Amino acid sequence: MLYTFSKSQYDQQQLVQLFSNVTEQDAILLWQDGVLLPIKYPTLFQPEQSYFLLENDVTARDLHYFFSANRASFSIISLRDLVKLTEQYSPQVSL
C-alpha cells in the first residue's frame, strides 16, 4: 500500500495510529507540506520504513540538507519516479 501525506498539521497521536498500520511492504510518500513532517515529528520516522519525498517540494522548502545522506531511509524522487511508485504500490491512500 502507498500512503501519501500532503499536509504538515496532522496531530501526533493521529500519525502514531496511522503509522502503526504501515508494514515493511508499504511505502510512505511525503509531498507538498507533508515533507515537513519528519522535521516536526522526527521520532515517528523509523529507519526500517521506506519514505519517499517529492523532489519539487523538498527543493521549494530548501530541505535538501535535512534529508542528506545521514538519513538513509528517505528517498527524494522526481515526478517520473512518483509515477513508477504509484504503479508499484496498490492500493493507495491519500491522507
- Going along the chain from its start, the domains and CATH numbers come out as 2-94 (3.40.1260.10)
3 state DSSP class of 9: coil
Once rounded to an integer, what is the mean pLDDT over residues 60-88?
Answer: 88
Q: Grade residue 72 by pLDDT with cuts at 50, 70 and 90.
A: low
Model confidence at 69: pLDDT above 60: no
Radius of gyration (Cα) for the chain, nearest Å? 12
Q: What is the DSSP letter of 48?
A: T
Task: Indicate the average pLDDT of the chain.
Answer: 91
Give the C-alpha separation, 38 to 45, whole Å.
Answer: 6
Residue 73 identity (one-letter amino acid): S
Q: Grade residue 84 by pLDDT with cuts at 50, 70 and 90.
A: very high
